[in-house]
Amino acid sequence: MSDQIKFIVDNLNKEPFRKNYNLITFDSLEPMQLLQVLNDVLAEIDPKQVVDIREEMPEQTAKRMLSLLGILKYKPPGNATDMSTFRQGLVIGSKPVIYPVLHWLLQRTNELKKRAYLARFLIKLEVPSEFLQDETVADTNKQYEELMEAFKTLHKECEQLKTSGFSTAEIRRDISAMEEEKDQLIKRVERLKKRVETVQNHQRMLKIARQLRVEKEREEFLAQQKQEQKNQLFHAVQRLQRVQNQLKSMRHAAADAKPESLMKRLEEEIKFNSYMVTEKFPKELESKKKELHFLQKVVSEPAMGQSDLLELESKINEINAQINQLIEKKMMRNEPIEGKLSLYRQQASIISRKKEAKAEELQEAKEKLANLEREVSVKTNQTREFDGTEVLKGDERSASSF
């Protein structure tokens, strides 16, 4: 214990704490003062912990310190394994609780600083599943997870760069080598200038050479820009053709819209909506209620041990044996009416499942059609903005010419 206190005092007297304690003055600290020392060490690890504990309720202090110690992965030793005892020791400033914490924190301050820094960005905020049903919340949560992964990658790259072996001396050597190379190039350019000055009309020739270099660079830039515009035009033509085909098919479908077909379509839609409201949705709701009731029942039950599980297993085996005996008796009777009824029930179940599958396919087709209609509307507006008129194609152009 004395070695532990000596280590704590030595480290508290160093930077950045500079407490100026000795063994006697430190051991004679009041509980509130000892808690403040612990809080100062935690504040050095995580700056958000800078608090005067005299202005804070004891429960809030204990909750805040326990939260940070949990993030730092501190495990109470020996007599503090019971969390209630450990929490109570923090509240009252007990020396047997606080001394081991201080000793553990001061042994690995730099490592814990890094852990506390990463915890601010890597402890995931759990969003309840019912809130994730909202599209905006789901998109924001997805962006949050992507940013967290990006932070992990960037931090890993930063750590690799720090430990990659680059030193200031090596960088300075590289800089001096590049400066020497620069001086050599300047001298070489000066020699070439002197040689060129002896040539007649050298100023005019230099000017022409500069213009040639500028025009070549401009030619390369224009060629690259031309290729990019060709690619954009190709993709735009493909998109326009797809949208025009979709628009044409939709116009053909709208041209066939007679009152009888419209009435028939409305009746089919009413039947579909009635089926969804009266059969499909109530079944799904009832199934969810049963599942919720079962889960609530499971949650309310006390924890089961191995003996309870073995007892349930034996009961399940007995009930399965009874069911098998009843099935054998029923097969021995061979009742034809019951056999027909089971066949009809099976056929009705198959038809019901097919009906549900078709309803789901119809719902997906309606959603796809709505998306296509929105896309056609957007593309039409873009085409109008491009040339001021709506693009006509094929028989539409021929009809408009008359």
pLDDT tens per residue across all 402 residues of the chain: 678 888 888 888 888 888 888 888 888 888 888 888 888 888 888 888 888 888 888 888 888 888 888 888 888 765 545 677 888 888 888 888 888 888 888 888 888 888 888 888 888 778 888 887 888 888 888 888 888 888 888 888 887 777 766 667 778 888 989 999 999 999 998 888 888 777 777 778 888 888 999 999 999 999 999 999 999 999 898 889 888 888 887 777 666 666 777 677 778 888 888 888 888 888 888 888 888 888 887 777 776 677 777 888 888 888 988 888 887 777 666 555 555 566 677 777 778 777 777 777 877 887 888 788 778 777 776 766 655 444 444 444 443 443
To 10 degrees, what angle do helices 58-71 and 31-45 make? 40
Whether the CB-CB separation of 145 and 121 falls below 8 Å is answered with: no
How distant, in Å, are the alpha carbons of 41, 115, 116, 313 from that of 103?
Answer: 11, 17, 18, 51
Straight-line distance from the first to the last Cα atom of the chain, in angstroms, rounded to the nearest whole number? 105
Whether the CB-CB separation of 53 and 61 falls below 8 Å is answered with: yes
Q: What is the DSSP letter of 82?
A: S
Q: Quote the pLDDT of residue 77.
A: 67
How many C-alpha atoms does 105 have within 13 Å on its Cβ side?
Answer: 28
Distance CA 78, CA 83 (A): 12
Residue 243 is which amino acid? Answer: V
Q: Please give the full DSSP string across 344-389, using - where no structure is assigned.
A: HHHHHHHHHHHHHHHHHHHHHHHHHHHHHHHHHHHHHHHHHHHHSS
How distant, in Å, are the alpha carbons of 52, 66, 72 from that of 109?
Answer: 21, 17, 11
The pair of three-digit structure tokens given for residue 386, joined into one six-digit string: 């491009």
How many C-alpha atoms does 2 have within 13 Å on its Cβ side?
Answer: 1
The pair of three-digit structure tokens given for residue 312, joined into one six-digit string: 């349930």
Q: Quote the pLDDT of residue 227.
A: 93
